[in-house]
Amino acid sequence: MSLITWLKDKFGGTVPLTETNMSVFADEYAVLVGDIYIREMAFLSAVNLVSKAVSKCEFKTYSNGKAVKGKEYYLWNVEPNKNQNSSEFIQKWIYTLMRNNECLIVEQGGELYVADSFHKKPYALYEDIFTDVTVKNFTFNRSFRQSEVLYFKLCECDTQKVIQGLYQSYSKLISYSMNSFQKTRGTKGILKIDAIPPAGTEEYKHFKDLTDNKLKEWLNGDNASLPLGNGQEWKELTQKTYSSESTRDIKALIDDVSDFTAKAFGIQPALLRGDVQGVSDALDNFLTFCIDPLVDMLQEEVNRKRYGFSEFTKGNFLKIDTKQVKHVDLLSVSGAIDKLIGSGAFCVNNILELVGEETIDEKWAWEHFITKNYMPFEEALKALKGGE
């Protein structure tokens, strides 16, 4: 939004743009843009957090119940289309979904594209129809049925609109705090003069230069002098005070914007603020209540459209694995790894995949082991009765 565009929208071109009202309008415009940046910063932080988490997930493809890495795996994990890698594709996918509360993915020539815009015509008993589907500067000259596309809807209510409505009220409080902070740091005074020179005279020009330029430069300058003539006196009204207001108070209000944005999308506020304390619990909560439900919705749409019932029952499907989202410190989980292998629940290669390492191409690495101290309860009773 440019300043001229904003002025025309706000005043409809009816107000003459003089030097005075341009200054007033520019101040209002700066406040408006500042409010937008605060809101967008919170929203984009949430989008980046969610999209980066989903891009770290592995889109596993299965054939007859076994994980395989074929063309479909490459499509989702490496190159969805010739212009994007999987991370870029997922970033746009999640951004569009969270921004618009809906997202459309179309397939063209065996490649996947996130639509920038489209029109949806819903039906109750028939397939929805999508028209004017546009990807960048290309618009498809055909319509798409619901079964031909991947359509995602984040929530029944538009979360982004709710956040914007809430922020419109909250932004007034932030602006008030900023103005209060500026007032406590500002300088005010009274300029005493014996008489104001008549308009149009040379003395009046000097007077205007003093009030409009020299006085302002003196107040804003770190090192400046104020030339005053006969019959002119400057008296400062108040001294600067630093006790009541602080930039930390303003930052706390801006953090509040991040907090209610995070809550709207199911994100722990501590993660969006970048807090370090309690980050492990916050991350677990983020995965449980934000990422897991989201990827579940994503893979359901992919499975029902790209595989269908018949293929799904044969063990052909896609699964989005979220275990790689959380960083694993091998030294801190070495005891847990020993238990997972020793209990027979996981094999060595399962653990290597879990921690992001390459699997071992040996038969024994796929076998399951169990320690000798594990036995059925009945055998344990027999051992006790036998005196062992």
Number of CB atoms found within 10 A of residue 52's CB: 14
Q: Token pair of 25, please? A: 């309008």
DSSP H helices in the chain:
3-11, 19-56, 71-77, 86-100, 159-185, 202-209, 215-220, 247-264, 269-273, 279-286, 292-306, 308-313, 334-342, 348-354, 377-385
Task: Say what angle helices 19-56 and 292-306 make with each other, to 10 degrees.
Answer: 70
Per residue in 327-364, pLDDT tens?
766 777 778 888 888 888 888 888 888 777 888 988 88
C-alpha of 309 from chain center: 34
Instruction: Assess whether 334 and 363 both reside in one domain.
Output: yes
Per residue in 139-162, pLDDT tens?
999 999 999 999 999 988 777 776
What are the phi and psi torsion angles at 88 (to 5°)? -65, -40
Domain range enclosing 281 = 1-101+154-184+247-324
Nearest to 261 by CA among 176, 173, 155, 165: 165
CA distances from 238 to 70, 189, 235, 275, 285 (A): 75, 7, 9, 39, 51
In a domain, 125, yes or no: no
Looking at residue 16, its pLDDT comes to 52
Length of the chain: 388
Mean pLDDT across the stretch 133-143? 95
Query: Rounded to an integer, what distance in angstroms lies between the CA atom of residue 1 and that of residue 331?
Result: 52
* pLDDT > 90? residue 376: no
Per residue in 308-332, pLDDT tens?
999 999 999 999 999 888 776 677 7
Q: How much of the chain, in percent, has pLDDT values that exceed 90?
A: 37
What are the phi and psi torsion angles at 72 (to 5°)? -65, -40
Residue 84 and residue 92 in contact, taking contact as beta carbons nearer than 8 Å: yes
Instruction: Assess whether 306 and 347 both reside in one domain.
Output: no
Looking at residue 138, its pLDDT comes to 95
| CB-count exposure of residue 152 (10 Å: 0-12, 13-18, 19+) | buried
In a domain, 210, yes or no: no
Query: Rounded to an integer, what distance in angstroms lies between the CA atom of residue 388 and that of residue 381?
Result: 10
Looking at residue 258, its pLDDT comes to 81
Q: How sure is the predictor about 14, in pLDDT bands with cuts at 50, 70 and 90? A: low
Q: Which of 37-41, 123-127, 143-147, 345-349 has the lowest mean pLDDT?
A: 37-41
Per residue in 242-257, pLDDT tens?
445 555 566 666 777 7
More confident: 180 or 77: 77
Give the chain's radius of gyration (CA, Å).
Answer: 32
In a domain, 191, yes or no: no
Instruction: Assess whether 92 and 160 both reside in one domain.
Output: yes
Nearest to 165 by CA among 260, 79, 91: 260
Instruction: Assess whether 281 and 382 both reside in one domain.
Output: no
Residue 325 and residue 56 in contact, taking contact as beta carbons nearer than 8 Å: yes
What own/partner pairs with CB < 8 Å and gap ≥ 24 does 365-373 have? Answer: 368/344, 369/341, 369/342, 369/344, 370/342, 370/343, 370/344, 371/342, 371/343
Instruction: Assess whether 303 and 375 both reside in one domain.
Output: no
Instruction: Assess whether 313 and 361 both reside in one domain.
Output: no
Q: How sure is the predictor about 179, in pLDDT bands with cuts at 50, 70 and 90? A: low
Looking at residue 221, its pLDDT comes to 64
Q: Token pair of 119, please? A: 């029109």
Instruction: Assess whether 92 and 158 both reside in one domain.
Output: yes
In a domain, 252, yes or no: yes
* pLDDT > 80? residue 365: yes
Instruction: Assess whether 267 and 367 both reside in one domain.
Output: no
In a domain, 116, yes or no: no
Looking at residue 295, its pLDDT comes to 95
More confident: 338 or 29: 338
Nearest to 119 by CA among 102, 137, 99: 102
* pLDDT > 90? residue 225: no
The tally of domains found in the chain comes to: 2
Which residues is 144 bridged to in the sheet? 130
Per residue in 292-304, pLDDT tens?
999 999 999 999 9
CA distances from 319 to 21, 53, 107, 166, 295 (A): 60, 15, 19, 36, 9
Q: How sure is the predictor about 175, in pLDDT bands with cuts at 50, 70 and 90? A: low
In a domain, 240, yes or no: no
CA distances from 182 to 166, 185, 186, 254 (A): 25, 5, 6, 17
Looking at residue 75, its pLDDT comes to 97
Mean pLDDT across the stretch 114-140? 96
Q: What's the pTM value of the predicted model, to 2 decimals? A: 0.71
Q: Which of 40-49, 158-167, 270-279, 350-359 has the lowest mean pLDDT?
A: 158-167
Handedness of CA 284, 290, 294, 296 (dihedral sign): positive
In a domain, 189, yes or no: no
Query: Rounded to an integer, what distance in angstroms lies between the CA atom of residue 367 and that of residue 85?
Result: 35
What single letter denotes the amino acid at residue 361? D
Instruction: Assess whether 378 and 360 both reside in one domain.
Output: yes
Instruction: Assess whether 37 and 158 both reside in one domain.
Output: yes
